[in-house]
Every structure is written in structure tokens, then in C-alpha cells.
Amino acid sequence: MALILVAEDTPEVADLIRDVLESRGHQVAMAADGVQMIERAKSLSPKLIVSDIMMPGTYGSSAYKALQDDPHTQGIPVLFLTGVNQTAAEKVVPKAPNVRLMFKPLDIGRFVLTVTELLA
């Protein structure tokens, strides 16, 4: 299956996402913040990034912008996760065909469908 980079600073959420993705046959690489997300995306070239929005170092939305400026990581689909309200989240999440936004707590069924859609 696909290599997916998960950028999440809450260990319990990171473990849940990793377990769900690995149970479906995906390889999972982890990043604990936005800076690691950028570094790991550049070195690993994942097929998808699942990223929290609000993380230490650099927010996921800022890291996304940095990745779009790099020809090697430009265009990698990103599924943003957040615990903030929809209005606040929509202000920082980029509008792009390969970007999705989901809210915590995660609906695992919807999460899996969205991952499948972004990998297609």
C-alpha cells in the first residue's frame, strides 16, 4: 500500500491513526510537529500526509505552505485534523483539490474513506 506521513503531537491520537492505517496495510512514518513534518516529507516523499493543524514548532497549515513551495513535495495530498471549531479551522486550511479537513474526535470510518479518496 502507500507510505503515509502522520504529523500529530498528541501521542494517543498519533497511535490511533498509525494503528488504523497500518491495519489497512499502509506504511506509516511519524512526525511530532510541523518542522519534522517538512523534513520527513522531503526525505521520504510520502503519498499522503495526515496532519494536525495546531502543533508545536510550525502549524500543519504553515508546513503545508512550505511543502507546496518545494517541487519535490508540491502536490502531496494532505488530510488536516483539528480539534478547533470549523470556522477557525477553515481560516487556516488551504483550499485545494488535494486537501481535506476532518475534526476530532475522529470518525474512523470517514477517516478511512477520506484516506482512500486522497490516495486514489
Residue where the block lists cell 506504511 = 27
Query: Using CA atoms, how far apart are residues 23 and 80, in angstroms rounded to an integer?
Result: 20
Cα–Cα distance, 22 to 29 (Å, whole number): 10
Structural domain including 13 reads 3-119
The total number of structural domains in the chain stands at 1
Q: What is the reported pLDDT for 73?
A: 96
Q: How far apart are the first and last CA of the chain?
A: 11
The amino acid sitting at 15 is: D
Bridge partners of residue 31, in order along the sequence: 7
Domain at 49, CATH number? 3.40.50.2300
Render each residue's pLDDT in the chain as its tens digit; 120 residues: 899 999 999 999 999 999 999 999 999 999 999 999 999 999 999 999 999 998 888 888 889 999 999 999 999 999 999 998 889 888 889 899 999 999 999 999 999 999 999 999
Distance (Å, whole) CA 28 – CA 6: 7
pTM of the shown model: 0.95
